[in-house]
């Protein structure tokens, strides 16, 4: 399946929530993800069609969270 993420990236303040909608060109696609955090906390591994997580910086500089999303059909 071809994954579409809306929006493709976000910039926000510490304590704000992500809101990424995940869709596919194949009906019945499920989604799972991992997250690599650098200077932020709150990103969790998960499964759903929307990634909503509250991210908080761990220091006085900006951080990043990079999500790797895996679409799957029929496991």
28-75 pLDDT, tens digit per residue, is 999 999 999 999 999 999 999 999 999 999 988 889 999 999 999 987
pTM greater than the 0.85 cutoff? yes
Q: How far apart are CA 53 and CA 20, in angstroms?
A: 9
Position 28 scores a pLDDT of: 93
Contact in structure between 23 and 49 (CB atoms under 8 Å): yes
21 alpha carbon, distance to own chain's centre: 9
Q: How far apart are CA 12 and CA 52, in angstroms?
A: 13
Decide if pLDDT at 12 tops 90: no
């Amino acid at each position: 399946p071809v994954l579409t993420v809306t929006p493709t990236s976000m910039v926000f303040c510490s304590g704000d929530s992500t809101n990424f909608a995940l869709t596919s060109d194949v009906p019945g696609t499920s989604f799972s993800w991992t997250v690599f955090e650098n200077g932020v906390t709150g990103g969790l591994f998960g499964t759903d069609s929307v990634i909503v997580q509250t991210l908080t910086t761990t220091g006085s500089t900006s951080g990043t969270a990079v999500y790797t999303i895996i679409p799957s059909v029929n496991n």
